[in-house]
Amino acid sequence: MSKDQVYTLLRQSGGQHLSGEEISRRLGISRAAVWKAVDALRKAGYTIDARSGLGYALVETPDALTEREVRRCMEEREIPCTRLYCFDKVDSTNSFLKRAALEGAPHNAVAVANCQTGGRGRMSRTFQSPPDRGVYLSILLRPALPPAELMPVTAMTAVAMCDAVEAACGLRPGIKWTNDLVVGKRKLGGILTEMALEGETGLVQYLISGTGINVLHTREDFSPEVAAMATSLLQELGRPVSRPLLAAEMIRAFQRLGEDIGGDHSRYLAAYRRDCVTLGKQVQLLWQEDRREVVEALDVDDQFGLVVRHADGRTEVIRSGEVSVRGMYGYIE
């Protein structure tokens, strides 16, 4: 507790030094307790300057996905408070929230992790989630709606996460239909949406939308088969991006999404059509039974289905649960 109180005082001082005596007096703790708290903060990655006759000043905060740092960024950006679970390591943030939902976790509860041991994507694919590199974050929503009204959620999430990345660092990703964030021809992040239904009403009991975004990865952080198609904000911008800040902006975007579900999603549809890198290209449709077909991607309909033209001129709308889309010569192209 003393560590948190000392941190709060130092942060509020705005980089100015506070004497140990002043901290002791204001918090009602001993000078020894102040020193121990400062030592603990330094071990946690905080840079604290100590000068004789002046005291202590907070110089730099760590790039850590701790509750303290995520909430600090939320406060600075005036993002509403929410139930927040922060983990150094977890099986997956989606899996955790599924368990928490059964125990009564509220609408807008968020789980964020520094590392996932069982990160998942669509169709049971693994999602590589090494420590200290990405932001792995999920939100629990409880919309009292039938499943049919939630069909657009995954695509809407893609737009929301593009908003979050742009707000955090100025770079707006593209979207590979239906749920991958891309920069250039490489994948920046992925999205997984899961839901549970109430047996009696058929309404959604809860919906969990999770996103993993590559932030500080170098090519060496990916396995060889993934490195050819993956990228990170660090690689694209040539500079690091604050993971706590990105997490805070992801939470803001998710909260807005929760308010918009079931209502007018025309803003999301317009942004999706603008950002979707799949449109206007020849792509391969990949069915789970290894069947492939080359088609032209024309548009997305009002439910974010992909409108394609077959070789015989016939048009069809493809839904994300039916098929995956891959470029002719790689992940995008």
Domains and CATH numbers, the chain: 2-60 (1.10.10.10), 67-275 (3.30.930.10), 282-327 (2.30.30.100)
Angle at the Cα of 246 (from 170 to 135), degrees rounded to 5? Answer: 125
The single-letter code of the amino acid at 33 is A
* Under 8 Å between Cβ of 143 and 204: yes
CA dihedral 56, 57, 62, 68 (to 10 degrees): 80
Residues 6+ apart with CB under 8 A from 321: none
The pLDDT, as a whole number, for residue 287 is 76
Return the CA Rg of the chain. Answer: 23
Instruction: Kindly report the backbone phi and psi dihedral angles of residue 244, in degrees, each rounded to the nearest multiple of 5, phi listed first.
Output: -60, -35
pTM summary value: 0.88
DSSP state of 331: S
The pLDDT, as a whole number, for residue 280 is 92
Query: Rounded distance, CA 313 to CA 319, Å?
Result: 19
Query: Rounded distance, CA 65 to CA 68, Å?
Result: 8
Query: Rounded distance, CA 213 to CA 229, Å?
Result: 14
Tokens of 199: 């047996």
The pLDDT, as a whole number, for residue 291 is 80
Instruction: Kindly report the backbone phi and psi dihedral angles of residue 186, in degrees, each rounded to the nearest multiple of 5, phi listed first.
Output: -125, 155
Tell me which residue has tokens 């990949």: 286
The pLDDT, as a whole number, for residue 126 is 61
* Under 8 Å between Cβ of 145 and 130: no
The pLDDT, as a whole number, for residue 292 is 84
Tell me which residue has tokens 């975004």: 213
Tell me which residue has tokens 């308010």: 259
Pairing of strands 282-286, 204-214: unpaired
The pLDDT, as a whole number, for residue 1 is 60
The pLDDT, as a whole number, for residue 17 is 93
For every residue of 116-183, DSSP letters joined together read BSS-B-GGG-B----TTTEEEEEEEE---S-GGGGTTHHHHHHHHHHHHHHHHHSPPPEEETTTEEEE
Question: Strands across the sheet with 84-87, in order?
Answer: 84-87, 109-113, 134-141, 204-214, 186-197, 180-183, 174-176
Tell me which residue has tokens 């090494």: 130
* pLDDT tens, residue by residue, 80-117: 988 999 999 999 999 999 999 999 999 999 999 999 99
Per-residue pLDDT of the chain (333 residues; tens, 9 = 90+): 678 889 888 888 888 999 889 989 998 898 899 899 989 999 888 899 999 889 999 998 899 999 999 999 999 999 998 899 999 999 999 999 999 999 999 999 999 999 999 866 554 566 667 889 999 999 999 998 889 899 899 999 999 999 999 999 999 999 999 889 999 889 999 999 999 988 778 889 999 999 999 999 999 988 888 888 899 999 999 999 999 999 999 999 999 999 999 889 999 999 999 999 999 999 888 876 678 889 999 999 999 999 999 999 999 999 876 567 777 556 666
Angle at the Cα of 165 (from 137 to 263), degrees rounded to 5? Answer: 75
The pLDDT, as a whole number, for residue 332 is 64
* Under 8 Å between Cβ of 302 and 319: no
